[in-house]
Amino acid sequence: MQRLRTSGPKPAVLAGAVALGCIGLAVVTPMLALVAVAPAMPDLSADYLGFVWSITKFTLLQAGLSTALSVLAAIPLARALARQATFPGRRIVLRLLALPLALPALVVVLGLIEVWGRQGWISTIVQATGLAGPLNIYGLSGILIAHVFFNMALAARLLVASLEQIPPENWRLAAQLSFTSRHVFRHIEWPVIRSALPGIASLVFMLCIASFAVVLVLGGGPKATTLEVAIYQSLRFDFDPPRAVLLAALQLALCAGLFVLGGRMATDIAVMSGVGKPARRPDRFASRRTDALVIAAGLAFLALPMLAIFLSGVMAPFSVIVSQSVFWQALTTSLVLALTAASLALVMAWSLLAAQRTIMRRRTPSRAASAFMSCMQASGSLILVVPPVVIGAGWFVVLHRTGLANSAAPVIVAIVNALMALPFALRILRPAVVGQAQIHDRLCASLGLSGLQRWRLVDLPVLARSFALAFAFAAALSIGDLGAAALFGSADFVTLPLLLLQKMGSYRSVEAAGIALLLAGFCLFLIWLAERLKPGEQNS
């Protein structure tokens, strides 16, 4: 189908250029600020370099171990879910796998402490049996448990989606050849898993590298500190910008290298589409008991911290919590930041996609237009290369030098949260935008609809549910984020995650549990709204 020339492409391209410029300004300005303090770098003595190396080594160690454990645990869980495709409650199990990423990291950490801590459920059972003493949730062990909690579910969902692409003809052939479970894994499942693993492992590794709240709470001291936490400590506790610059440069180089390597390692899964009726797997009956045990173990690992959050939260003194003015201040700040960040992410995502759509309509885009479109496509993944804490560190240096750290803190935190949510907004909106363009471009061109008129009459009614879905996810990510807010937190600027961290730090665990339940409730409510507003339900 030929690409159409339509009237009025300039406003869309201009909006995309403005969005791209704002993203660049929000990222480049703090980077320049960090470079500006580089001449004041400290003397790189052997002790200092040893300190930096120990932090870098632990960052890579915990990310590598977390990735290995998450992927190894996800493979049997994904195989069991893919093999038992018709058991009652399977849809609920798959939704449960999506909850860890929807919950704020601090809330999950609190639930894990309730389950795995010295006074937790598992530790109590272990001590009662006399097998061992109380468990230690802090340090490397606690970080690994938390990262596996978050990333095993993500890896399992991605692997299940890959295994479900296997065409039914393969299963019918396996049944005719009397394949055992071992033969099925070797000849059918493993080639698909092997193709998907590099991309999944690189994604999990980058998420663990950029983990902040988990390491901040469960790190347990200097021996269990990552680069992101060290940047935060250098600015908030020591106010040592040169050291923060060095650590930020290392973090930036590490993330950029991993992003490039992950892009090269990730490969498309080569599976053929089925041409016949769906077929059931021949190994589903022989593996039913084993699969039930695997699924039950995975559910228990994921559900226990969530249950602990609920049980501890419902017993909290909510009358005391809501009587504190700082709670209402934190609630108001979090809601305003979430709505602002989600709105910014949505505007930037739509501007970038509309500009790309306009350029793609041209029959022969110029080199400049193609380069511009490539920049817009890459901007959606920029936050994976430049982590939020690094961006926040640069802005922290800028604002402290200008004396605007307190007054401009909400604006900067909202911008950083919007950048963090932008990749998710783009991934939600892009399929809907491309789909409706294929359906309506020729009709709009024949009717002479363009610009605001087309937006009001065609685009908005069709994309309304996708916009709502992207907005809900972006707001949920922002309301539970701690990274940028932790750098700028003060008596006048408190968010719900910051208030939760303060309660945990002052050993007011009962109040912390209540705030955690409220924070989890807000996020889950937004995710529930997103589920109710699935893009597939829209009328086109």
The number of helices, as runs of H, and strands, as runs of E, in the chain is 24, 0
Per-residue pLDDT of 2-44, as tens digits, reads 444 444 446 777 888 888 888 888 888 887 877 776 655 556 6
Share of the chain above pLDDT 90, in %: 16
For residues 74 and 525, the model is more confident at 74
Q: How many CA atoms lie within 13 A of 153 on its CB side?
A: 23
* Rounded Cα distance, 234 and 252, in Å: 16
Q: Residues 257, 261, 266, 267: is their CA dihedral positive or negative?
A: positive
- The whole-number pLDDT of residue 143 equals 93
Per-residue pLDDT of 286-322, as tens digits, reads 677 888 899 999 999 999 999 999 998 898 888 899 8
CA-wise closest residue to 150 among 88, 205, 187, 92: 205
* Rounded Cα distance, 92 and 507, in Å: 35
* Rounded Cα distance, 385 and 364, in Å: 31
For residues 34 and 148, the model is more confident at 148
Place of tokens 């995975």: 298
Per-residue pLDDT of 105-139, as tens digits, reads 889 999 999 999 888 888 888 887 877 767 788 88
Whether 183 has a pLDDT exceeding 60, the answer reads: yes
- Distance, C-alpha 266 to centroid of its chain: 18
Rg (CA), the chain: 25
Per-residue DSSP letter, 507:
T
Helix axes 140-163, 90-102, angle to 10 degrees: 130
CA-wise closest residue to 507 among 237, 105, 110, 103: 110
* Rounded Cα distance, 82 and 193, in Å: 12
Whether 329 has a pLDDT exceeding 70, the answer reads: yes
Residue 178: both structure tokens together? 């009397």
Instruction: Collect all residues with Cβ–Cβ distance below 8 Å to 349 and sequence separation of at least 6.
Output: 380, 422, 425, 426, 429, 470
Whether 472 has a pLDDT exceeding 80, the answer reads: yes
For residues 355 and 366, the model is more confident at 355
Whether 238 has a pLDDT exceeding 90, the answer reads: no
- Residue 490 φ then ψ, to 5°: -155, -175
* Rounded Cα distance, 175 and 37, in Å: 67
Q: How many CA atoms lie within 13 A of 480 on its CB side?
A: 30
**In this predicted structure, which of 167-171, 249-253, 474-478, 508-512 has the lowest mean pLDDT?**
167-171
Sorting pLDDT into bands at 50, 70 and 90, what band is 330?
Answer: very high
- The per-residue DSSP string of 215-252 comes to HHHH--SGGG--HHHHHHHHHHTS--HHHHHHHHHHHH
Q: Which fold has domain 49-309?
A: MetI-like fold (1.10.3720)
- The whole-number pLDDT of residue 289 equals 84
CA-wise closest residue to 52 among 309, 196, 234, 300: 234
Mean pLDDT value across residues 487-502: 87
Q: Residue 47 belongs to what H/E stretch?
A: helix 46-83
- The whole-number pLDDT of residue 1 equals 38
**SS3 for 356?**
helix
Per-residue pLDDT of 379-396, as tens digits, reads 766 766 777 888 888 888
Residue 163: both structure tokens together? 């295994």
- The whole-number pLDDT of residue 341 equals 93
Which amino acid is residue 430, in one-letter code? R
Question: How high does pLDDT run on average in the chain?
Answer: 80
* Rounded Cα distance, 478 and 498, in Å: 13
Mean pLDDT value across residues 367-378: 71
For residues 339 and 249, the model is more confident at 339
Residue 461: both structure tokens together? 């009614």
H-assigned helices in 361-404:
367-379, 382-385, 388-402
**In this predicted structure, which of 174-188, 329-343, 469-483 has the lowest mean pLDDT?**
174-188
Domain borders along the chain are: 7-36+318-540, 49-309
Place of tokens 């190894």: 72
Per-residue pLDDT of 263-279, as tens digits, reads 655 544 443 334 444 45
Residue 111: both structure tokens together? 């639930």
- The whole-number pLDDT of residue 4 equals 41
Sorting pLDDT into bands at 50, 70 and 90, what band is 509?
Answer: confident
Per-residue pLDDT of 204-224, as tens digits, reads 998 888 888 899 888 867 778
Model pTM score:
0.83
Helix axes 405-447, 460-479, angle to 10 degrees: 160
- The whole-number pLDDT of residue 247 equals 84
Topology agreement, domain 7-36+318-540 and domain 49-309: yes
Class of the 7-36+318-540 domain? mainly alpha
Mean pLDDT value across residues 55-76: 93
* Rounded Cα distance, 318 and 336, in Å: 22
Q: How many CA atoms lie within 13 A of 330 on its CB side?
A: 29
Place of tokens 């919590």: 321
